[in-house]
Amino acid sequence: MAAAAELTLLEKSLGLSKGNKYSAQGERQIPVLQTNNGPSLTGLTTIATHLVKQANKEYLLGSTAEEKAIVQQWLEYRVTRVDGQSTKEDLRTLLKDLNSYLEDKVYLTGHNFTLADILLYYGLHRFIVDLTVQEKEKYLNVSRWFCHIQHYPGIRQHLSSVVFIKNRLYTNSH
């Protein structure tokens, strides 16, 4: 998904009505937002954080100091590991790490829904859509988290809904 499209999706999910215009910079198409009476902002996570503050939903950035740090950690993860991957091997490692991380957490920060969940969902969508049934079962915690986020009101919008079947076909015990 192009960065500009993703930021537009994020705006809608945050309830912001005005559509910003984003330009792209450089060969990796990093998004740039020109603010009205300030400097231009460059970078997906920077702009996303700015939008969250504009929408008055600072809780999405975490409430305690630790939670805020974790949110930032996962935003960084999104841009470096998820967007930066190139091979199938990268994807598998990523999903494996994520799967073990999410074993005891409902959301990325633990118990609360944050911007990290939103951006990681948008970032991973194009990969999860292509997973086979067996892979979805293998990364069960990622599937559970993904299914949960895609049902969160206002997040999925026009993105396709990924089907996770309820029957366990490949593994009968966990």
Partner 1 sequence: MMHCPRPDRGRDGGRSSRTERLGSAVPPEVAGNPGTERLRSSPELQGAVPAIFGRRGEPGAVACALLLRCPQLPATADAMGFGDLKSPAGLQVLNDYLADKSYIEGYVPSQADVAVFEAVSGPPPADLCHALRWYNHIKSYEKEKASLPGIKKALGRYGPADVEDTTGSGATDSKDDDDIDLFGSDDEEESEEAKRLREERLAQYESKKAKKPALVAKSSILLDVKPWDDETDMVKLEECVRSIQADGLVWGSSKLVPVGYGIKKLQIQCVVEDDKVGTDMLEEQITAFEDYVQSMDVAAFNKI
Q: Residue 133 Cβ, how far from partner 1 at the closest point, in Å?
A: 6
User: Cβ neighbours of residue 5 under 8 Å, at least 6 residues apart?
Assistant: none
Q: Which is nearer to partner 1, 50 or 68 (CB)?
A: 68
Q: Residue 53 Cβ, how far from partner 1 at the closest point, in Å?
A: 25
Q: Residue 140 Cβ, how far from partner 1 at the closest point, in Å?
A: 6
Across the beta sheet with 22-25, the strand order is 22-25, 30-34, 40-42
- The per-residue DSSP string of 40-107 comes to EEESHHHHHHHHHHHTT-GGGG-SSHHHHHHHHHHHHHIIIIITT--SHHHHHHHHHHHHHHGGG-SB
Q: Residue 169 Cβ, how far from partner 1 at the closest point, in Å?
A: 9
Q: Which is nearer to partner 1, 2 or 169 (CB)?
A: 169
Q: Which is nearer to partner 1, 53 or 168 (CB)?
A: 168
Q: Which residue, among 119, 96, 116, has the nearest Cα to 107 in the 3D structure? A: 116
Q: Which is nearer to partner 1, 21 or 174 (CB)?
A: 174
Rg, Å, the chain Cα set:
17
Catalog residues that contact partner 1 under the rule CB under 8 A: 103-106, 111, 133, 140, 143-145, 147-148, 151-152, 163-168, 172-174
